[in-house]
Amino acid sequence: MAAPAGGPDRHNPVAGILWMVGAAVCFSASLTLVKALQDGGMSAFQAVLFRQIFGLIIFTPIILRAGIGTLKTRVPFGHFMRALLGLTGMWTGYYSLTLINVPDSVALQFTLPIFTMICAIFLLGEKMHSHRVIATLIGFGGVLVIVRPGFSDLNLGIFLALAAAAFYATSDTLSRWVARYDKTPSIMMWNFIFMIPMAAIPSAIWWVTPPPELWLQVFGFAVAGVGAQFCLTRSFGLAEASLVSPILFLRLPLIAAISFFAFGQSTEIWTWVGAAIIFVATTWMTRVETRKKTPAEKPS
């Protein structure tokens, strides 16, 4: 099989792991800062808007290098729906941070790979294998451990955190679909074209001008968000997903520590137990998927 233009990244598991650790740190910093910004009065829509604008500034050289042909697409509606679902995922995820403890929101969003698998079955026609069904049931068992219906008060933030995982999963699945027709620069460009106006409209309606002391946090949040995506991309380019994906579990202890010192939030034992169950289910599913694909791979 021919290598893609520019050649694939050299396989380097150690570097892949380090980049994924960087992604976990950036994700943790991003969530902590967006929580602080919302506590300071900023809306979740504004947080999304600032992140996208900064991302556009960072990626503009890449997009310009690709040329005006980047805007040519056969699936504009696919790009629109991907941006809409991604925006909704960010908004529900960010808003959940104002209603429940940050570690609880993060733990519940560990269900994203399971939602992605479900979306791939219905949207991409992938097969429903037994290990996927088992992982799904175990994963949602972990959700029940965290939520403990009947033993703790159900909060809207719980449902928003799960909704965020579902919206992100659907958006990620659509990314795989539009990638059949368009290249990465095109996908990036259309995401900015659609998502910035989508976030700008509600931001204008509920606009809160950040005080001077918050602008540094806005900048830090935007940098951390873009940095997380960059580290994630580099990690997957250097090592197998089944090796590096579990490292994102580091987000939970990092977020728990930061939330304790920054917001005085403590993490219950049930959150750790439930998150561990979800982590085991998704990691096992990923490794089974990798083993099933490996024998089919042939050297070029």
Q: Does residue 8 form part of some domain? A: no
Question: Where is mean pLDDT largest: 114-128, 196-210, 222-236, 273-287?
Answer: 196-210
Q: Is the pLDDT of residue 295 over 60?
A: no
Q: Of 25, 31, 28, 20, nearest to 247 (Cα)?
A: 20
Model pLDDT, residue 151: 55
Return the percentage of the chain with pLDDT > 90, whole number. 22
DSSP 3-43: PPTT-PPPP-HHHHHHHHHHHHHHHHHHHHHHHHHHHTT--
Which residue has tokens 């479900």? 118
- The larger pLDDT score, comparing residue 283 to residue 53, is at 53
Tell me the mean pLDDT in the region 266-294.
Answer: 80
Model pLDDT, residue 298: 45
Residues 135-177 pLDDT 10s: 888 888 888 888 876 556 678 999 999 999 999 989 988 888 8
Tell me the mean pLDDT in the region 118-140.
Answer: 81
Give the Cα-Cα-Cα angle 52, 248, 239 (nearest 5 degrees).
95
Q: By the 8 A CB rule, do 240 and 290 touch? A: yes
Q: Of 11, 4, 24, 8, nearest to 229 (Cα)?
A: 24
Say how far apart CA 220 and CA 269 lie, in whole Å.
31
Q: Please, what is the end-to-end C-alpha distance for the chain in angstroms?
A: 5
Q: Do you know the residue count of the chain?
A: 300
Q: Of 133, 165, 140, nearest to 277 (Cα)?
A: 140
Tell me the mean pLDDT in the region 119-128.
Answer: 80
Q: Does residue 83 form part of some domain? A: yes
Q: Does residue 298 form part of some domain? A: no
Q: Does residue 177 form part of some domain? A: yes
Structure tokens at 86: 């991604």
Q: Is the pLDDT of residue 121 over 60?
A: yes
Q: By the 8 A CB rule, do 52 and 221 touch? A: no
Question: Where is mean pLDDT largest: 5-19, 54-68, 195-209, 277-291?
Answer: 195-209
Tell me the mean pLDDT in the region 6-18.
Answer: 69
Say how far apart CA 32 and CA 117 lie, in whole Å.
28
Q: By the 8 A CB rule, do 196 and 46 touch? A: no
Confidence bin at 130 (pLDDT 50/70/90): confident
Q: Is the pLDDT of residue 36 over 60?
A: yes
Model pLDDT, residue 82: 93
The total number of structural domains in the chain stands at 1
Model pLDDT, residue 250: 84
Q: Does residue 138 form part of some domain? A: yes
- The larger pLDDT score, comparing residue 127 to residue 178, is at 178
Q: Does residue 5 form part of some domain? A: no
Confidence bin at 292 (pLDDT 50/70/90): low
Average pLDDT, the chain: 83
Q: Does residue 297 form part of some domain? A: no
Q: Does residue 7 form part of some domain? A: no
Q: Is the pLDDT of residue 296 over 60?
A: no
Q: By the 8 A CB rule, do 140 and 86 touch? A: no
Which residues, 6+ apart, have CB-to-CB distance to 49 below 8 Å? 196, 199, 200, 203
Q: Of 171, 169, 30, nearest to 38 (Cα)?
A: 30
Confidence bin at 285 (pLDDT 50/70/90): confident
Domain that holds residue 169: 13-291
